[in-house]
Structure 1
Amino acid sequence: MKKQSKFLYKTVEDKTIVWFENSNEYLVLENNTADILKRLSKGIPVKEIAEALSKKLAVPLDRTFDFIIDLEKKIYVPKSNKEPEIVNDYRDIEKPKSYEFIKFYKVNNVVFKVSYLSEKELSHVHPKFAHLVIDNTTNFDYEFDVFINNKFIFLIVDKKLIGAWSSKNIHYFQGKFSMQFIQKIHHKEEDEWMGVFHASAVSNEKKSILFLGDSGNGKSTSLALLQAKGFTCLADDFVPMDVEKREVYSFPASISIKKSSLETLLPIYPELETTAEYNFTRLNKIVRYLKPNNTNYFNHLPCNDLVFIKYEKDAEIACEKISKIEAFQQLIPDSWISPKLENAQVFLDWFSSLNCYRLTYSKNEEMIATVSKIFSDEL
């Protein structure tokens, strides 16, 4: 049986989080189970481990033996959440000679030239970054090319092929585009990032808080409400965090506002009335985009708090600390965590130090007051 090459272990509360290097997968295990895994990884024979476990738990040897064999099979053939690999190097694909749309985006003093073959390619990227558009210029720092060929969408950055994705995996393309974007903005290569979280990040200019939760729970709406009260939008939907500083970095995409939130936000942001509307049938949502109030897209701040936020009609305000294990199991499925061993260790150390909350609300002012208390460490 092929063994995993390396593991990382982190005891959090009464469980052990285990990371597998070969698959970049995380599992939450009982401490006894994690101890068995540690012994297996050291090459200790199954029989010897089973005998020790049988004595410790006072159960028959055949039961502990079968348990360890079953565990070994499950552990060493973990599910993989890896991005689908490209099965063709596409050297026979020619870059288009002309593009229908060419956009220039300025992020602080960094200028990107992005060429889109047609309106279809444009729709996958441009709406989130339209607020960054500047007039055409011959002076730019980085050049991106986006085109569809043979049902695959291609991304070329500074004349280098980054990858190609099928129409079923557009979200992987969008993630890679965003990753290339932040690498250029913040001058950090991919292995210098600890991870990227599907969350909303708000700051008080001293530190940041991450809002998490299922789609439709109100992450972006809460972010927009807080922005109107003087807090800063660091990032929405795509929240990058670096390894060196363990800080949340600014990402310049707009805040995505669902149609169901317009009634709440239009009195605060009247510009949403005439903002273009986008229907994402794959995600079953209709959104408009709100410009973030961030004036420094090079900004980065520490994050000590995760808040699983949920708007619920007529609910009484409730904010309580939740177990880190519960928070971890909700955080991981929608996150990209670096596959590099050293970075995974930084992630586990950072996560174990966090405060994790669940915030349910129906009244906006109460939500804002509660978030203010979290920022000031009053909860």
Structure 2
Amino acid sequence: MSTCVFLIYGVKVSLITNNLAFKNFVQATLQNYGIVSQENHKFQISVRIDFNKKTQIKKSKFRVGNGVFLDEKHKKLAIQHKLFLGEFTQINSNNLSIRGEVDNNFKNKVKHFIKSLAIKNYSYKEMLFHQLYRELILMPVFWVLRHKFEKHLMHASAVSNGKQTLVFLGNDGVGKTTVALKLLKKEDTSFFGDNFLLYDSNKIYAFVDTLRVNKNDSKAIKTYESSSIFKKVYQGKSRTHYNFNKDYISKSARPTQFFVLKQSNKNSKTTISKDQFINYTLAINDYVKEFDKYSYASNLIFLYDTQFNIEQQETDFLSKLVSDSPCALLSLNKDQEVFDLFNKDN
């Protein structure tokens, strides 16, 4: 069995698995959160994922959703994903045990082999590893941060030059990574992430796992491989994964400007109200459906009771976070250089 340990904003995650390739995948993905010694933590998640073992996971007769089964007596939730079985067990108020089991039997092997022949760049392993990581590691951590420690998620990138911190909100493919990386060319600029940001009522917090680049995007791959900021850590059939140099990751900060991104044939900026920015944020979060509230982890509410309205707190925190900062709709031509967004006059 292989083990690795991570610390993500006070949540300690211990992974044990009998699949070395999966352990290496997770370790590379969460490289910036690896720990080698015991550090202070507020919550502990123990994850065990077994491959090709007879199942130990029992589904209760009480179903609380599609593929989700609750055993209230033993404080357990069982999930039935199309690629694996999972189980969440409440140990105590600050401790969660998660196990996942993958049975890649002969029938499944044949099915995925046929798919690999029929579908370009199809990779069962790549798809399985990503889903195991997302559903049994990443989303439970985000759920705990959101429900226990009042840190919410925003689908955005952000950069800082020490004096100003810029947030770029947007849907997938609109240019969040592009604009952040172009601004990172400037000296003394640091990075919060290109996909997820965590926030409370005062600050944003970086979250950087691997940056995933479509293998067809040769221009992006050349950009990453020519920069000292990135290191290739994992190559799948469809995507190449890069780690971000942690020396360039920003500490928490209060944003000074907020931008909503859209693509255009030229670069331009239009002022919007704070209420408009908040509405964009909530709408984009709902559209993307990447967050913990859209994963199996959302059902942890049956095991861990929370005494406050999460959705209302999310909106209240956003309102306080944005209160003193200008907001704008930023139209971008991804092939043009970005004008100096750190200059307030632009």
- TM-score of the aligned structures, taking structure 2 as reference length: 0.57
Where do 1:259-338 residues align within 5 Å?
259=215, 261-264=217-220, 266-267=222-223, 269-270=225-226, 275-278=233-236, 286-294=239-247, 299-310=251-262, 315-333=265-283, 334=285
Cα distance change on mapping 1:331 and 1:249 into 2, 3 Å? same
Distance in 2 separating the partners of 1:121 and 1:261: 25
SS at match of 2:337: helix
Once the two structures are superposed, what CA deviation does each residue of 1:206-225 show, in whole Å capped at 9, x if it has no partner? Answer: 34222121111121232223
Once the two structures are superposed, what CA deviation does each residue of 1:13-52 show, in whole Å capped at 9, x if it has no partner? Answer: xxxxxxxxxxxxxxxxxxxxxxxxxxxxxxxxxxxxxxxx
Distance in 1 separating the partners of 2:317 and 2:10: 31
Q: Which residue number in structure 2 is paired with residue 220 of structure 1?
A: 177
Q: Which residue number in structure 2 is paired with residue 140 of structure 1?
A: 38
Q: Is the 8 A contact 1:317 1:360 kept in 2?
A: yes
Would you say 1:370 and 2:340 are equivalent positions? yes
Q: Is the 8 A contact 1:194 1:346 kept in 2?
A: no
Cα distance change on mapping 1:140 and 1:203 into 2, 3 Å? same
Q: Which residue number in structure 2 is paired with residue 350 of structure 1?
A: 321
Match of 2:200 among 242, 246, 249: 242
SS at match of 2:270: strand
Runs of 5+ consecutive residues of structure 2 not aligned to the other structure = 50-54, 58-83, 102-127, 294-307
Q: Which residue number in structure 2 is paired with residue 152 of structure 1?
A: 85
Following superposition, the deviation at residue 120 of structure 1 comes to 8.0
Where do 1:1-379 residues align within 5 Å?
100-105=1-6, 113-118=14-19, 122=23, 125-130=26-31, 139-141=37-39, 144-148=45-49, 150=57, 151-154=84-87, 160-161=95-96, 171=134, 173=136, 174-178=138-142, 190-230=147-187, 231-243=189-201, 246-259=202-215, 261-264=217-220, 266-267=222-223, 269-270=225-226, 275-278=233-236, 286-294=239-247, 299-310=251-262, 315-333=265-283, 334=285, 339-340=309-310, 344-362=315-333, 366-367=337-338, 369-373=339-343, 377-379=344-346
Runs of 5+ consecutive residues of structure 1 not aligned to the other structure = 1-99, 184-188, 280-284
Once the two structures are superposed, what CA deviation does each residue of 1:269-316 show, in whole Å capped at 9, x if it has no partner? Answer: 43669542246xxxxx7342231454566x21001322123455xx22
Q: Is the 8 A contact 1:240 1:248 kept in 2?
A: yes
Q: Which has the larger radius of gyration?
A: 1
Following superposition, the deviation at residue 232 of structure 1 comes to 0.6
Following superposition, the deviation at residue 240 of structure 1 comes to 0.9
SS at match of 1:240: strand
Cα distance change on mapping 1:293 and 1:307 into 2, 3 Å? farther
Distance in 2 separating the partners of 1:163 and 1:273: 30
Q: Is the 8 A contact 2:45 2:97 kept in 1?
A: no
Q: Which residue number in structure 1 is paired with residue 65 of structure 2?
A: none
Following superposition, the deviation at residue 370 of structure 1 comes to 3.1
Distance in 2 separating the partners of 1:165 and 1:207: 43
* % identical aligned pairs: 15
**Larger relative contact order (Cα-Cα within 8 Å, sequence gap ≥ 6):** 2
Once the two structures are superposed, what CA deviation does each residue of 1:91-128 show, in whole Å capped at 9, x if it has no partner? Answer: xxxxxxxxx43224578999865323536864884442
Following superposition, the deviation at residue 197 of structure 1 comes to 0.8
Distance in 1 separating the partners of 2:315 and 2:90: 27
The count of residues paired between Structure 1 and Structure 2 equals 256
Q: Is the 8 A contact 1:202 1:209 kept in 2?
A: yes
Q: Is the 8 A contact 2:164 2:342 kept in 1?
A: no
Distance in 2 separating the partners of 1:261 and 1:319: 27
Distance in 2 separating the partners of 1:205 and 1:158: 42
Amino acid of the structure 1 residue aligned with 2:241: R
Cα distance change on mapping 1:251 and 1:130 into 2, 3 Å? same
- Supply the RMSD in Å over aligned alpha carbons: 4.3
